[in-house]
Chain A
């Protein structure tokens, strides 16, 4: 299991356990983390699981694919560290990953 920390728009942090092979979005939904909506259920089709990767994790998480980059056009306040949580696969080296959720998903 890997620990993933979500910090919401107001600064409240929540840490959840995520299973390797699942996605950061799934970890959020399973644990009822607010700020992640995932309307499409992980099909990379809605951009409502938009997160900001904390700078120290950006290199390990990597950049979005071109399909994900296209989908990020539907998100608001997109920044260089923006990713869609449904496209980040949990693995051992992401244990401790911290992401921030935006003010509004949709």
Chain B
């Protein structure tokens, strides 16, 4: 039994908006835990466009996606938020009341939180592996088709087809060759965007007859009862060939899906979460939605809008966490108490 983490606020999503919410909450003495499905902090900024310049962050004529995340991490450092990466919230159970909310939240990594409030800052949803549109692929997902390697042992003495041309595909090819019965790597072209030294190692293994390389794309799966026996592929001239295998690992990058948020009892509108524009609270008191995942009249999916939404949501979070506190509004430029929290006074 894992220990339950008790907290005032759980932030779902470690993108720019979730990170800045840590700051706004921190100024109000509210410590937060942050959960993100990716293995790194930064959300889309870090995953999709770390090197692309962003031109509409106030005060920064230009800043890259990763640059913005690095700065935000520096800015929120005084508040010691705890990050739980590689985890996705799978269940939210409502234990409280409308005036004193309390939620039990479980992740797919078996972490359990008991939190007074939840701030959903999940952007376009959670990043999940892209599934190739091969007919009936779902039927094989239990025993034969995997989108990630959780345990290398799963592949011992099996014939594995790895599909893709990036670092995931190449790294797992190199790691599974010593374990699997046979590894076949298939890519749509004889050109790999993975790190050059991995590509060289792979080519050497092919030369030595220790693995196979095929150029083509998977079109059909053959097997029975969820057990794969071969993958039918098309080469670039339209010809067909089969790769005998009992395990397949397609690596086609990530896509964003709403995921379990749809099951938490919140009102949704076309995969977005409607909120009010005073507190950015959802239909469930104590659960807030900020950034790209929410919707309201006039909504703009801008990072700066998400910052504003986080600041206002934090005020209402404060009401739940410190119901008896007399609220006074303060500026970081002049308030000694805020400056102490920031570690500068």
* Interface, chain A (partner B; CB < 8 A): 39-40, 43, 45-48, 69-70, 72-78, 80, 103-104, 106
Task: Answer whether A39 and B256 are a contact pair too, CB < 8 Å, given A73-B187, A77-B217.
Answer: yes
B6 at the interface (CB under 8 A from A): no
**Which chain A residues border B44 with CB–CB below 8 Å?**
40
The distance in angstroms between the C-alpha atoms of A79 and B133, with both chains bound, is 15
User: A74 near B253 (CB under 8 angstroms)?
Assistant: yes
Interface string of B15-52 (1 = CB under 8 A from A): 00000000000000000000000000000100011001
Interface contacts (Cβ under 8 Å), in number, total 48
Task: Answer whether A77 and B255 are a contact pair too, CB < 8 Å, given A39-B124, A40-B44, A69-B191.
Answer: no
Dominant SS among interface residues on chain B: loop
B132 at the interface (CB under 8 A from A): yes
User: A104 near B133 (CB under 8 angstroms)?
Assistant: yes
5 A-B pairs closest in CB distance: A106-B255, A104-B133, A74-B253, A70-B193, A45-B48
The distance in angstroms between the C-alpha atoms of A39 and B123, with both chains bound, is 11
Interface string of B130-143 (1 = CB under 8 A from A): 10110000000000
Q: State which of B48, B133, B217, B256 has its C-beta within 8 Å of the C-beta of A78.
A: B217
B164 at the interface (CB under 8 A from A): yes
B165 at the interface (CB under 8 A from A): yes
B166 at the interface (CB under 8 A from A): yes
**Which chain A residues border B255 with CB–CB below 8 Å?**
39, 46, 48, 106
**Which chain A residues border B236 with CB–CB below 8 Å?**
80
**Which chain A residues border B48 with CB–CB below 8 Å?**
39-40, 43, 45-46
Find the residue from A47, A75, A104, A106 having the highest chain B CB count within 10 A. Answer: A106
Q: State which of B49, B52, B188 has its C-beta within 8 Å of the C-beta of A73.
A: B188
The distance in angstroms between the C-alpha atoms of A85 and B134, with both chains bound, is 23
**Which chain B residues border A39 with CB–CB below 8 Å?**
48, 124, 255-256
